[in-house]
Amino acid sequence: MVMANTIFDILKRNQLSVTDSRKNILELFQQTNGALAHADIEKKTDEQFDRVTIYRTLQTFVDKGIIHTIPTADNSVLYALCKDECTQGHHHDNHVHFICDDCNTTYCLDHVTVPEVSLPKGFNQKRTDVVVSGICNNCN
């Protein structure tokens, strides 16, 4: 099955009504090579949307598996597009994230797969996040 990837189709496919904020924020993710924080989105949409709307839009997208959160060692919450859309709730996002210590950009390294981790007995693995930090190819 071939799925269209226009913004409209993505929203429709996920049973979401097509609104300005959703269109704009989703477009922003498609144009961005990397991850975005709430504050980034606020700025880059020129503050045309309420903070609350952005929070809710992000949450909706996460719930639908359109974007995913990236764990970071500092406090910040980052979001990035899921390359292959995940089914609702069952999110699997098995690529490595890279955060540049210099320019602070976050990359989804889609071609670097997450290695297997063997856990001690009794531990049941659901999800693995790998976050590498260092200097990116731009800053090098």
Partner DNA sequence: ATAATTTTTGCAACATAATTGCATTTGTTT
Partner DNA sequence: AAACAAATGCAATTATGTTGCAAAAATTAT
- In this chain, which of 2, 15, 46, 115 binds a second copy, going by CB under 8 A? 115
> Segment near a second copy (CB under 8 A), from 8-16, 26-34, 52-60, 74-82?
74-82
Would you say 24 or 64 has its CB closer to a second copy? Answer: 64
> Segment near a second copy (CB under 8 A), from 5-13, 28-36, 49-57, 72-80?
72-80
> In the bound complex, what is the minimum distance in angstroms from residue 52's beta carbon to a second copy?
16
**Exposed, middle or buried: residue 47 (CB in 10 Å: 0-12, 13-18, 19+)?**
exposed
What six digits make up the tokens of 67?
């974007």
> Segment near a second copy (CB under 8 A), from 9-17, 19-27, 44-52, 115-123?
115-123
In the complex, the residues that contact DNA under the rule CB under 7 A are: 16-22, 38-39, 48-53, 55-57, 59-60, 75, 77
The residues, ordered by sequence, that sit 6+ positions from 55 with a Cβ below 8 Å of its Cβ are: 38
**Phi/psi of residue 106, each to 5°?**
-110, 130
**Phi/psi of residue 94, each to 5°?**
-100, 45
CA distance 93 to 89: 12
Q: Does 52 bind a second copy (CB under 8 A)?
A: no
For the chain, the C-alpha Rg in angstroms (whole number) is 16
- In this chain, which of 20, 33, 71, 84 binds a second copy, going by CB under 8 A? 71
